[in-house]
Amino acid sequence: MESGSISLIVFFVIVVFILFSSFVTVQQGYIAVITVFGKYKRLLRPGLNMKIPIIESIYRRISIQNQSLELEFQAITQDQANVNFKAMLLFAVMDQAEETIKNVAFKFIDNRNLMQALTRTVEGAIRSYVANLKQSEILGLRSEIVVHIKEQLDPTLASWGYHLIDMQLNDITFDDIIIKSMAKVVASNNLKAAAENEGQALLITKTKTAEAEGNAIKIAAEAERQAAQLRGQGVALFRQEVARGILEAAKQMETINADMSVIMFSMWTESIKNFAEVGKGNIIFLDGSVEGMQKSFRQFMALSSKGLFDESGTTKSSSNTTSTPNA
């Protein structure tokens, strides 16, 4: 009786175990791969699924979520400079098709081998590309490097059942000695550019100064020319007015039959007065003797007797003569 009860309990336990092992729960974001005695059979989607106990088994649960991988490695440029890279890869299973999931499940032994192969593939692609570049070109070709790696990596990942979503080169650094030398090159280039700019500024300043001085000289010369012309015109007008005044005075004196020496004497005294008033200390030698005055009168009378002035005040030639009075 007791042995029968034990057998019944054991049978009941086995039945319960088989019943519960027939149900399989697959988490969201995963797909389970079912094998029968080691051979692929089918896929189990997220949710509650059933499988044949003992015969069917879950070989692997494949994540269809995005996965990331951080890489740190070193490459050598064409001019033998060491470049340190820090990269981040974002990839995922290409799709949820059965052939794709089978490829992902059976291509690699485990996920560690997948990451190792992915890392070495990325490193090899970057190193082969960087080997054709110089150190001065690396920083400026960050985006080109990313595009090149994607082009090289996409076919390989597709053969594994994955696709590359994004790749970022987070950091590109050189050895300390190279960084210091690059800093010196940049500093020297900046000093050279500053010297060139300063020279250009000095050249422009001197050129503009010379142009300004030349323009000032031209303006001053033009102003002086115009002033001289105006002074000449003023002197000419003054002489014309003097001549016209003398002519009018001579006519009036001739009308009243007055002696011309009166006019000459008046001009002589006005000239001496003007010298005294506006001379400002200048020394002017005049012959103030009677003989000197008589000589000056005779010269004035000779000019008057020859009629050298017309009515407009300009000089002319005339044959009219008058007697010169005695002084």
pLDDT tens by residue, 92-113 = 999 989 999 999 999 898 888 9
pLDDT of residue 263: 66
**Cβ–Cβ contacts within 10 Å for residue 293, how many?**
17
Which residue spans within the chain are E strands per DSSP?
23-26, 30-36, 39-44, 47-50, 56-63, 67-76, 82-93, 162-174
pLDDT tens by residue, 12-41 = 777 777 777 888 899 999 999 999 988 999
> By CB neighbour count within 10 A (0-12 exposed, 13-18 middle, 19+ buried), where does 89 fall?
buried
Query: Mind listing the domains of the chain with CATH numbers?
Result: 2-63 (no CATH), 67-174 (3.30.479.30)
Cα atoms in the 13 Å half-sphere on the side-chain side of 275? 11
Higher pLDDT, 264 or 314: 264
The residue assigned the tokens 């299973």 is 93
R_g over Cα of the chain: 60
H or E, element range at 231: helix 176-255
pTM value > 0.95: no
Distances 20 to 4, 17, 24, 59, 236 between C-alpha atoms, Å: 24, 5, 9, 18, 136
Asked if residue 49 lies in contact with residue 24, where contact means CB atoms within 8 angstroms, the answer is yes
User: How does strand 39-44 pair with strand 47-50?
Assistant: unpaired
Residue 278 has pLDDT above 90, yes or no: no
Q: Which two tokens stand for residue 130?
A: 């960087």
